[in-house]
């Protein structure tokens, strides 16, 4: 897994207004699928965060103008995926009669 950490660190350009962890999270999201293993396991090993906390941090991060400036394509894609999941959850709740 240290090979993955080095790749994430190398792919994290310095962007004013973003912390080192923020840059590493964006770099990780840009390339996590290239590596073997579960994403949640990689998140725990690289960032020492639970999957739930990681996604809370990620969602807050992609709402910042600094993240958008750092990697517009990635941030827009992540925002689109989040919106799609939110719409799917809302549709399920509506189809379940709001229960």
Q: What is the pLDDT of residue 36?
A: 67
State how far the Cα of 5 lies from the Cα of 59, in Å rounded to an integer: 21
- The residue among 97 and 99 whose pLDDT is bigger is 97
Q: Is the pLDDT at 19 greater than 90, yes or no?
A: yes
> What integer is the mean pLDDT of 3-25?
73
State how far the Cα of 40 lies from the Cα of 50, in Å rounded to an integer: 8
């Amino acid at each position: 897994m240290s090979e993955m950490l080095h790749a994430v660190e190398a792919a994290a350009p310095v962007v004013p207004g973003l912390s080192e962890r923020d840059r590493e999270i964006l770099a990780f999201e840009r390339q996590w699928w290239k590596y073997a293993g579960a994403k949640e396991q990689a998140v725990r090993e690289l960032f020492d965060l639970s999957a739930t906390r990681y996604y809370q941090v990620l969602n807050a991060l992609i709402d910042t103008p600094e993240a958008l400036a750092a990697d517009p394509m990635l941030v827009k894609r992540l925002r689109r995926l989040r919106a799609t999941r939110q719409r799917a959850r809302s549709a399920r709740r509506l189809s379940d009669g709001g229960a």
